[in-house]
């Protein structure tokens, strides 16, 4: 280790100690989840954007494992292993996560990076969202970060909007999975709006049936399948593709409504006004969810104490398990380097990890500690 690296490591350790002291003094119990995790838990739930960035391998028994790409799912596993007693439960953590790099080495996306964060289980109310966001704001402020803004999104509003539109459920699921990043969503919604071109009623469907038969053959004979998607996933996608060929295109007014909503980027009170006008004009009822965001706006404005607060309708997170409010603490004009912390609500993740045995709401957030250190050091 070079002298410069040693100094940075010591600074990171000192910063982590201050962050963890803040979390634990606020009632969050420190936990240390395992670095190596069952790969299936992540492959099935983190979303397309992160699958290709996981370190996946098999142990001698053949079990598929991975290095944890973040700490939320591992902390959820700790929560489940302890049993669901004494709710609500609050955990905090500090440690490395691991993701492969895409293309040329990028110091802003290192293969190994550190996170300090909190997870709050068993509280469905907006008070829990506010507590988590407020604690992360306090934590980065303690670390001497003062020049930052907060970006908010809300996956629940987007989900409710999809539910209000008449389309096959598999299309809603497809669009929901494609929500982030925005370019992928645009491609998906426009693909659904295009005529399928299945004029002969046979050729396209026959090709898909042949592909399904091939994957059924592979699965039945336990032939090793190399790739990020399992044969079952590929077969399901092919079946959906065959069904889609028989559907009329997504109405253009739906495309216009969805794209207009996702273009809303404004200070939060203005964004709420824009949404109400848009949904009223489209005749879409969004009872409850906008009032929830209005309450969140008032609370965040009070705790942020003048910090710029912006709403971006197309803002999401790289992990697909979020279901409600999402946020990012960032420094303007710095791109990825300025994305210091983020998180949100994920009310269905515990149910998915427990196989449907437990249905427990949760919210959390994490600080990218190397970025925080760089920001506070003026680099």
Domain coordinates of the chain in residue numbers? Answer: 3-162+256-376, 203-244
- CATH hierarchy code of domain 3-162+256-376: 3.30.930.10
Query: Cα 227 from chain centroid?
Result: 22
Average pLDDT over residues 2-28: 89
How much of the chain, in percent, has pLDDT values that exceed 90? 51
| Element spanning 22, H or E | helix 3-25
- Dist. CA 67–CA 70, nearest whole Å: 9
What integer pLDDT is reported at residue 136 of this predicted model?
96
Residue 136 in contact with residue 118, Cβ under 8 Å?
yes
Query: In the predicted model, is pLDDT for residue 255 greater than 70?
Result: yes
Vertex 238: Cα angle to 237 and 243 (nearest 5) = 95
Q: Could you tell me which of 109, 105, 30 has the C-alpha nearest to residue 69?
A: 109
- Dist. CA 293–CA 299, nearest whole Å: 10
- Residue 338 DSSP code: G
| Element spanning 7, H or E | helix 3-25
More confident residue, 312 or 4: 312
Residue 29, classed as helix, strand or coil, is strand
Vertex 96: Cα angle to 87 and 355 (nearest 5) = 40
What integer pLDDT is reported at residue 197 of this predicted model?
41
Q: Could you tell me which of 302, 366, 378, 376 has the C-alpha nearest to residue 113?
A: 366
Q: What is the pLDDT of residues 31-72, one digit of tens each?
A: 999 999 998 888 777 655 667 788 998 999 889 999 999 999
What integer pLDDT is reported at residue 204 of this predicted model?
47
What integer pLDDT is reported at residue 358 of this predicted model?
87
Query: Could you check whether the bond before residue 217 is cis, i.e. omega within 30 degrees of 0?
Result: no
More confident residue, 101 or 229: 101
Angle in degrees, 0-180, between the axes of helices 155-164 and 252-262, rounded to the nearest 10: 170
Could you tell me the pTM of the whole model? Answer: 0.84
- Residue 335 DSSP code: G
- Residue 331 DSSP code: -
What integer pLDDT is reported at residue 153 of this predicted model?
93
Cα separation values, 18 from 21, 23, 144, 344, Å: 5, 9, 11, 23
Q: Which residue intervals of 263-368 are DSSP H helices? A: 268-282, 289-304, 349-353
Q: What is the pLDDT of residues 201-211, one digit of tens each?
A: 444 444 555 55
- Dist. CA 331–CA 151, nearest whole Å: 10
Query: Cα 186 from chain centroid?
Result: 18
What integer pLDDT is reported at residue 102 of this predicted model?
73
- Residue 101 DSSP code: P
- Residue 310 DSSP code: E
Angle in degrees, 0-180, between the axes of helices 289-304 and 126-142, rounded to the nearest 10: 30
Query: In the predicted model, is pLDDT for residue 109 greater than 80?
Result: no
At 347, is the pLDDT very low, low, confident or very high (cuts 50, 70, 90)? very high
């Amino acid at each position: 280790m070079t002298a410069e690296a040693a100094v940075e490591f010591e600074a990171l350790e000192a910063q982590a100690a201050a962050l963890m002291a803040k979390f634990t003094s606020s009632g969050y119990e420190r936990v240390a989840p395992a670095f190596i995790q069952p790969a299936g838990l992540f492959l099935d739930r983190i979303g397309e954007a992160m699958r290709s960035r996981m370190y996946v391998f098999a142990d001698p028994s053949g079990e598929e494992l991975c290095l944890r790409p973040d700490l939320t799912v591992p902390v959820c596993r700790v929560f489940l292993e302890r049993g669901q007693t004494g709710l609500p439960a609050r955990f905090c953590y500090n440690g490395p996560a691991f993701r492969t790099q895409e293309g040329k080495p990028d110091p802003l996306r290192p293969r190994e990076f550190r996170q300090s964060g909190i997870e709050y289980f068993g509280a469905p109310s907006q008070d829990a969202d506010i507590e988590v966001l407020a604690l992360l704001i306090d934590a980065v402020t303690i670390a001497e970060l003062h020049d930052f803004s907060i970006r908010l999104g809300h996956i629940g509003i987007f989900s409710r909007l999809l539910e209000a539109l008449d389309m096959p459920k598999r299309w809603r699921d497809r669009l929901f999975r494609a929500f982030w990043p925005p370019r992928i969503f645009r491609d998906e919604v426009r693909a659904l709006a295009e005529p399928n071109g299945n004029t002969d009623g046979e050729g396209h469907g026959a090709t898909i049936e042949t592909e399904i038969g091939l994957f059924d053959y592979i699965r039945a004979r336990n032939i090793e399948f190399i790739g990020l998607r399992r044969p079952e996933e590929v077969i399901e996608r092919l079946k959906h593709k065959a069904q889609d060929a028989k559907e009329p295109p997504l109405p253009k007014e739906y495309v216009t409504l969805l794209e207009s909503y996702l273009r809303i980027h404004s200070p939060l009170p203005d964004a709420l006004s824009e949404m109400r006008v848009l949904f009223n004009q489209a005749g879409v009822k969004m009872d409850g969810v906008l009032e929830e965001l209005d309450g969140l706006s008032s609370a965040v404005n009070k705790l942020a104490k003048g910090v710029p607060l912006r709403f971006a309708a197309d803002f999401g997170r790289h992990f697909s398990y979020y279901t409600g409010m999402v946020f990012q603490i960032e420094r303007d004009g710095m791109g990825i380097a300025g994305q210091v912390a983020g998180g949100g609500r994920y009310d269905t993740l515990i149910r998915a990890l427990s196989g449907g045995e437990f249905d427990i709401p949760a919210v959390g957030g994490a600080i990218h500690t190397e970025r925080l250190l760089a920001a506070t050091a003026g680099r």
